[in-house]
Each structure stands twice: as structure tokens, then as C-alpha cells.
Structure 1
Amino acid sequence: MMNNSSSKTNSPIDSGDRVACSEFLAGQLCHRSAMNDSNRGNPLTASGSIIRAFAILALALATSSVAAAPLSNPTGPDAMAPELAETGSGAVLTWIERFDNGHALRFATFDGERFGEAGEIAHGTGWFANWADTPRLFVTPGGDWVAHWPVKSGESTYAYDVVVSRSTDQGESWSLPAIPHRDETQTEHGFVSYFADREGTPHLVWLDGRHTAIDADEPAAREGHVAGNVAGHGSGAAMTLRTASMVGAAFGPSVELDDRVCDCCQTASALTGNGPVVVYRDRSDDEVRDIHIVRRVDGEWTSPAPVAEDGWVIGGCPVNGPDVAADGVQVAAAWFTMANHIPAVRLALSEDAGETFPVTRRFSEGSALGRVQLARHDDDWLLLWMDEVDGGASLKLARIGRDGETRSVRVLADLGPGRGSGFPRMAVVETPRGDRLLVAWTGSDQHPSGERTTHVRTAAFDLGGGSEGGSDSPPAG
């Protein structure tokens, strides 16, 4: 990743990697420069279209579609990077807004029918605002909110830190910002996911680039301790995967989970009935970038193991990470692959807390763009992803049973295939009149002057039938 690296496997994406990237479908980004939008006049300049129409969600095959109604939200102009977190009484939408020469991380709660007023988590200058490594909010079992955002730590493009704050009063006030990594290197730290352990303590998982800048024998490289069962790749100076617990507003020592992983794919974490699991894109010495899992069993992290062996060889990061969801010992993992030059979204199911994944399924083979997310509803899994359609993209939702059988696949919205749409997010919301699915993504408007502005789009759908709503008008606020 660092410009002064002499090793091919640890250097920036070179011309050979860009050839590999050209094999992707339109809008599928895989070179490092594609991730950074923080130094541009507009945070999203790639092609993207205003959402023109919604194909209405119907999760039961017999459900008929009805016209969409607007669902406004309090995001402002130049809003981007939406994320959703489920709560016991609804959901929390977070997003980034640009102001002057800086950015603000804001939030709004959703009660199943409408959004409340916007609140602010943090604001400042020097943020690494981009389409792929987005801020996120995590709701602990005790009701606290933990949020993070990326802040630049040096002049190098990908030198940035994870900055974290905690609220014990649902966003009314926030603790002083803290950093979970203590290496103090000006390298990449990001792509955070969360899990809470059985005691309710929140843990952060992130990609950590400390070894890309310093020798592994230096003291800073030894901060924390290496998990005892981790099997190394035999090569230093690579991106690593680390985790740390958060007690109050402070962090414990970090633990290295894998010493060689893909540089810029999202991580995913969940708590199973047997303990936490982390799913991520691995990176072998031969540039195989398949999805791996580590599990904490009896207080110790296991060695990395493949969820499935796709055999996808690619010289650059696809910026297209996996997701994982759990319900007791039932675990679902989903990801994008382009093994054998065939794009597809894959789903794998486990009945033993992620130790094995005997059931696998493929979706949108030949047309998938990925950017997956998983959720649980009743006894089924919900899978969200993007699919290429006629030069654009569709946002699709599948309902899959415990046995792996697909119960339905529906198109939720039409959107642009490029990074302008970001990573669409969903959350299941319980309401007195039934469960609803809240969906958010980044949309953009092209003005006659040539200027492009971004907006956070939102839609809500009834999971049990009845009226459904969406938003394709300029958001409120």
C-alpha cells in the first residue's frame, strides 16, 4: 500500500492490477484510487442516476405490488454514506454531510413510520470521507450507541485512523473521541465492524496497516498481542485484521486475527450461540482473495479458515467485502466473487456457529455487482445486493429459508452501477402494525450547470404485506 514498498504483493495497484480490474463489469471498482473521494470537489463524481422508479417489494410469492409512496428523511444536500443500525424500537440512520471544508457525522432515528430530527455525532476537518469505508453506529445490548468515523493521520492518501465515540443517552451526548489502535503509524486503519460478547461488551474489528509502514520487529508492531492460534501467511508488511474491546470510552489491547488480508474490503462480525465470528476477504501469497472466517471459542480465536473456496485470483482489492448474520448457532455469510471471470453473489449457511458451511447458493451469476448485506426476519435470511441491468443497476432482495431454499427474489429499486450509489443498507424494524424493511443508499442529481449533488435516499417496505413506501424525491431538510 505504501508508495515506498518494493514488494509487488504489498505495493500500490500497478498497471497489471488495473488490467485485472478492467475485467470487472461496468462500475465495479477494484483499484485503490477508486476508494478516495475526500480530496475532490464533490464527494461522489462517478456516474450515478436519480432513482426513477421502485419495483415494489413482495416477500411472499403471492403478494401483489402497489405504488410507492414517498418517505422523506432529514439528510441535507451533499449527504452520502448512509448506514443503518437496528434498535429495539426502530432503527438509526447515520450519514456524512459536507460543510465548508469539513464533514459532519449525523444521525436520525426511525420509528417504523417516519424519521425524527437530525442529530450530530461529530464534525471536523481532515476526515477521509469516501464511498466505501463509511462511518457506522452500533447499538450495544445495554442500549448504548458506539459510532466511528475515519480521520486522516498523515499526508499519504490512505493514512487515516479509526476515531470512536460512545453515547449512553441515545445520541444526546457523546464521549471524547478515542482510537482503538495504538501503533501511531500513518497507515490505513478502517473498514470497521462490531460485535458484542455474551457479557454485552462491544468489540471493534478493523483492517490495520501498521505493518505496511514499519518492520514487524519494531515495538509499535507488537502493540497488543497476537492471537495464539493464528496461522500466518509467511509474509510481513501486509494489511492485517485486528480487534479490541471497548469498556466505557476506553479500549483494551488489540489482538491480531489474521496477518495478511485484502486491503480495502469491508469486514463483518456477529455473535453466535457459541461466541463471536468475524468474516472478511483474505489474501494469499498467490493473490487468492476468498472469504475467510475466524471464531472465538473458549476465549481463544481460531485459525483463519475459508467459508468457501472460490479460488478468485485478483491482483487488486475489489472493494467489495462480505457480510455475516447469526441467530443462535445458525449463521449466514454472503459475499461477491468473480472467480473464473464470472461475477456472482454467494450465500453460505451454517448450523454449527460457523464451524462448517455445508449449504451454499449463488445469485445473479453473470450479472452481480455485489455490495451485499444480510438480515434476519422470522426464520428466514434476507439478502440484499446490487445487480447490473441494462447499463444501470438494480437493488435486489432475496428471502432464503433455513434450508437454503430461495423463497423469493424482488427488485427494490433501480440505481446507478458506479460508486455513486455507495453501499445500500437495510434494517428490519418492528412496528405495532407489522415488521418493515428500511433501506437507504446514496443517490445523485445532475444539474444543468454540470454540478452533481448527492442525497441519501430512503425507502420502507412492509414485510408482512400491505402498503409500502419509498423515496425518490429530494429528501427533507
Structure 2
Amino acid sequence: MAHTHRFRILLLGALACASASALTACTSGAGDSAPASASLDLGAPTELSSPAQPGSNTPYLEVTADQRLFLSWTQRAADSSVSIQMAEWRDAAWDSTRTIASQRQFFVNWADFPVMTALGNGDLAAHWLEREANGKYSYGVRVVRSSDQGRTWSAPVTPHTDGLAAEHGFVSMWAEGSDRIGLVWLDGRKSAMPDSAREMTVRTAAIAPDGTLERETLVDARTCDCCQTGTAGTRSGRVIAYRDRSAEEIRDIVVVRQTAGGWTEPQKVHNDDWHYPGCPVNGPQVAAAGDTVVIAWFTAAHDTARVYVARSVDGGATFAAPVRIDDGNPIGRVDVLLDDQTRPVVVWLEQRTPERSEVLVRRVGLDGALGVPQVIASTSGARQSGFPRIARHGDALIAAYNTVTPMGVHVARVPLSPTSKP
């Protein structure tokens, strides 16, 4: 989004710990995280081959109900042309790369990237961002579907109906029923209107199999400008999480829930009280099973960078106090999944030096105890390193992440049990 470049927060250590003694305090949780527990430890990561070529970035993972694993990414060629590509993991190797879209006026952004989802009938859906009009930040969402596992794709559909040259992005998608695509996005139509207060909104819609738009709905009329949205389905209904924006510029995480009467009013997950007059470009992520919901997020409230995870057992209606899970100097950029015991497993970036960060993953017990953080890989703390993504695949998690020098998408497997073998 436009505010990405004007307000990007650079947390290279100053916000977290200013000395070796402070780092020790932060690493131990600074009083708000639980002790480590060996029983929660993960296995050693193994790097897998990657189907993405040099120049790739913005990876995204999708695992279907029948355990098919897909990876999508943005590929930049030597001539600077861009395409959206994907591959499927089959028999311990990636199959041939397939192109979701190419030769279009893509809006390419390090933090606002294409995503995929598998629908109930077996179809796949994907989205990308495409420039509209001549404005630098005028772009819209395009959604396509495939009924042949990504070999061919439908004509793109635009889910927002404002028709304005404005910002639309940070999409999360889900399967709605057997054959519909549900999605939520940040919508900048208010910013494109005369005398605008430059406020972003959160909107949802559904897309029928024939491309017809259904139920476009305003969820929140004032939100943070350019943080990712997150969503998960519960037994009680769908939950959407995002970073809100109060009149006083408090940028905390809220959820809305889908009920029989529509979407609920936004509710804070926790009162971080992060006053920040800009967008940190660091949104929450959600995982759910039954009526258990976990949300992971980054905050730098009161000049201390943290990564938190919080649990709900009533479908997201209420959340327990969060547990701090970082290692003392987090950049954030989180993702989260649940294991078989509904224990959250969180991935994030941790700053180690001004030039180097690590992709870390950690499991959290039901009592808030912490497993030892596992290092998946080293990368850069620069924005081009993007956002690591994880997905559950069998008895392991699959992680996809970016390196910057050289630029490229990598994939790793991390056993959910420390005794599991690759």
C-alpha cells in the first residue's frame, strides 16, 4: 500500500533490547512468556528442493483436505517480466511448474502477495494484484479458479465493485461451501474520494462458480493501511483478524466473527495499546480447529518489539491473555498453525545482526509453556526477505521463505516430533 514506503518500521534491535543484559531479559520473555519445555520441541529442519527459480519471492503454501501440497510464488525473469507460478509436491518431488497468470499489469509488492486456496469441490482459487488507471497506488484484486489443479485458469474476476482508482489488496481467501470463494481484503475506495480522510476499510465478498459476486460487505470502516489479514474457519463460523486503527492511532489486533446475523463488531484480541501514526506492515495470522482459535501477531507497543500468540476456545468470542514467544528481538512477519493437540506452532523473523535475521519456529503448549525455538534458515531482515509461510503436511510442517542474496524462494520440512525422521 502507499503507506508501506512512508511509514515502514525498521526494528533492527533498538526497540527490543539495548544491551547484552537487556537481551538476556528479553530472551527470557521479559516477564510475560512461559518457561521452555523440551516436550514441545520440534525436529530438525531439512531443506527441500524448490521449484522456484532465482528471482522468485512471495511464497505461499496450501495443503488440501486430502493432503496435497501446493506452493505458489511470484517469479521475476531476467527481462524483469513477472508471472505468478505454482507447483505441487508429488512423490517426494515437485511436479512441473504451472503458470497462474503472466503478461499482465501486475502490482508487485514485497508484503502484499498472491495467495491460493483449495475449494470444497477440489477446485483451486488464486488471486493477484493488478494495476488500474495511471496512479502509482491504483490497483485491484483479480481472482481466478482452476478445475484441473492449476493447468488452466478461468477469466479473472474483480471482487470490489467501487470502480475507483484506489488501493485494494492484502487478501485472504477461503473455501465457502463446496464451490464458492470467500475473501476479505483491505479496500481504499474512501481514499480515492474527494476530501478523503485517507482511511482504509475491510470488506468481504463471495464469488460463485460462474464468477458472480455475492454479499460484498463492509466489515470495518477504519483500519490499519497495509497489514496482512488472516482468517480461519471454526465450528461456530469464520474468524477474520486484522490490525485496526483507532481515532487515536492505536494499531492493535482485532477479530470479527461470521454469525447467522452477519459479521460481528470488531473486538480486540488484546489491549497492546500500540500507538503508531503509520502502518507497520506486519499483520496477524490465524489457525483454528473446532472452536479453538489461535492468533499470532507482532507489536512494538511501548517501544518493545514482541511476537504474541493468544488462544480462544469459544470460536474467537474471547481470548486468553497472550503468551510472548519471540527470542528477544523480533521483526515479526508471523504465520501460525495447530498440531494434533491444538497447540500453536508459530514462525517469525528474528533479527540477529543489522544484516542478518533468522526464520524461527516454535511450539507453544496448552499451558503457555514454550518449546525451544528452531532455526529454519538465515536470511536478511530487509523487507525483500518477505513473510515466511508454514503449512501442516502429514507429521511435519512445511515452511516456505525468501533469501535476498541471491533472491529466491526456499522450502524446508520440520518434523512436528523431534524423533521423527525426514
Which residue number corresponds to residue 133 of structure 1?
Answer: 112
| 1:443 corresponding residue in structure 2 | 403
* One-letter amino acid matched to 1:409: P
Residue 317 of structure 1: CA displacement? 0.4
Q: 1:125 to 1:349 in 2, by over 3 A?
A: same
Task: Give 1:241's aligned residue.
Answer: 202
Q: Which residue of structure 1 aligns with residue 378 of structure 2?
A: 414
1:396 matched to 2:349? The reply is no
1:350 touches 1:359 (CA, 8 Å); kept in 2?
no
Query: Which residue of structure 1 lines up, in the alignment, with residue 12 of structure 2?
Result: 25
Indicate which of 391, 402, 406 corresponds to 1:427: 391
8 Å contact kept, 2:325–2:362? no
Amino acid at match of 1:385: W
Distance 1:261 1:77, change over 3 A: same
Is the 2:222–2:244 contact (alpha carbons within 8 Å) kept by the matching residues of 1?
Answer: yes
Which one-letter code corresponds to 2:421 in the other structure? S
C-alpha distance in structure 1 between counterparts of 2:14 and 2:164, whole Å: 32
Q: Which residue number in structure 1 is paired with residue 349 of structure 2? A: 386
**Structure 2 unmatched runs, 5+:** 16-36
**Contact 2:70–2:86 (CA<8 Å) still a contact in 1?**
yes
1:364 aligns with 2:342: no
On the 8 A contact 1:369/1:388 being kept in 2, the answer is yes
What is the rounded CA distance, in whole Å, between the counterparts of 2:367 and 2:177 in structure 1?
27
What is the SS of the residue equivalent to 2:223? coil
Counterpart Cα distance in 2 of 1:76 and 1:356: 44
* Maintained 8 Å contact 1:260/1:283: yes
CA contact (8 A) 2:230 2:286 kept: yes
Paired residue type of 2:225: D
- Opposite residue 346 of structure 2, the aligned amino acid is L
2:110 partner letter: W
Tell me which amino acid in the other structure corresponds to 2:266: P
Amino acid at match of 1:238: E
Contact 2:43 2:414 in 1 (8 A): no
> Are 1:293 and 2:227 counterparts?
no
CA displacement, residues 438-470 of structure 1 (integer Å, 9 cap, x when unaligned): 11111133xxxxxxx4211111122233434xx
Match for 1:410: what amino acid?
Answer: Q
Is 1:454 the counterpart of 2:407 in the alignment?
Answer: yes
Q: Does residue 314 in structure 1 map to residue 276 in structure 2?
A: yes
CA contact (8 A) 1:26 1:417 kept: no
The 8 Å contact of residues 172 and 231 in structure 2, kept in 1 or not, is answered as yes
Q: Provide the C-alpha distance between the structure 1 equivalents of 2:113 and 2:290, rounded to a whole number of angstroms.
A: 28
Q: Post-superposition shift, 1:407?
A: 3.8
The alignment yields a C-alpha RMSD, in angstroms, of 2.5
Give 1:366 deviation, angstroms: 4.1
**Distance in 1 between residues matched to 2:164 and 2:67, nearest whole Å:** 40
Alpha-carbon distance in 1 for matches of 2:398, 2:258: 31
Task: Decide whether aligned partners of structure 1 residues 312 and 61 sit closer, same or farther in structure 2, where only a CA change above 3 A counts.
Answer: same
| 1:96 paired residue among 61, 68, 74 | 74
Q: CA deviation at 1:250?
A: 2.9
Letter in 2 for 1:437: L
Q: Does the CA-based 8 Å contact 1:102-1:125 persist in structure 2?
A: no
Query: Structure 1 residues 351, 200: CA separation in 2 closer, same or farther (over 3 Å shift)?
Result: farther
1:12 and 1:110 mapped to 2: Cα distance?
A: 34
What SS class does the counterpart of residue 259 from structure 1 fall into? Answer: strand
d(CA) in 2 for partners of 1:188, 1:285 = 21
In 1, distance between residues paired with 2:4 and 2:220? 20
Change (3 A) 1:201 1:178: closer
User: In 1, distance between residues paired with 2:193 and 2:174?
Assistant: 29
Deviation at 1:126, TM superposition (A): 2.0
The match for 2:246 is 284
Which residue of structure 2 lines up, in the alignment, with residue 270 of structure 1? 232
Deviation at 1:199, TM superposition (A): 5.7
Deviation at 1:408, TM superposition (A): 3.9
Q: After superposition, where does 1:46-445 map in structure 2 within 5 Å? A: 61=39, 70-87=47-64, 88-99=66-77, 100-111=79-90, 113-197=92-176, 201-214=180-193, 237-248=198-209, 249-364=211-326, 366-379=328-341, 380-391=343-354, 392-430=356-394, 435-445=395-405
Query: For 1:180-199, what per-residue CA distance to the aligned partner results, in whole angstroms no more than 9, with x for missing partners?
Result: 00111111100000233456
Q: Runs of 5+ in structure 1 lacking a partner?
A: 3-10, 29-58, 217-234, 446-452, 469-477
SS of the residue 1:254 aligns to: strand
Return closer, same or farther for 1:256/1:129 CA change in 2, 3 Å cut-off.
same
The answer for the alignment partner of 2:26 in structure 1 is: none
Contact 2:118-2:174 within 8 A present in 1 as well: no
Q: How far has the Cα of 1:403 moved from its partner? A: 3.5
Aligned to 2:421: 467
Counterpart-to-counterpart distance in 2, 1:246 and 1:112: 33
In 2, the alpha carbon distance for the partners of 1:178 and 1:307 equals 33
Post-superposition offset of 1:27: 11
**Residue in 2 aligned with 1:475?**
none
Tell me, in whole angstroms, the C-alpha distance in 2 between the residues paired with 1:198 and 1:120.
Answer: 26
Deviation string 1:157-188 (CA, Å, 9 cap, x unpaired) is 22111111001121122111110001111111
Pair 124,61 (structure 1): closer, same or farther in 2 beyond 3 Å: same
Query: When the two structures are aligned, how many residues end up with a matched partner?
Result: 395
User: Counterpart of 1:244 in 2: which secondary structure?
Assistant: strand
The C-alpha deviation readout for 1:229-281, integer Å capped at 9, x for no partner, is: xxxxxx95410000001111332141000000011000011111111111000
Percentage identity across paired residues of the two chains: 37
Provide the rounded CA distance (Å) in 2 between the counterparts of 1:64 and 1:363: 15
Mark the CA change 1:305 to 1:365 in structure 2 (over 3 Å): closer, same or farther: farther
Whether the 8 Å contact between 2:379 and 2:404 is mirrored in structure 1 is no
CA distance in 2, matches of 1:350, 1:333: 9
Deviation at 1:376, TM superposition (A): 1.6
* Structure 1 residues 200 and 407, CA gap change in structure 2 (3 angstroms): farther
Aligned residue for 2:337, secondary structure, equals: strand
Matches of 1:366 and 1:158, distance apart in 2: 35
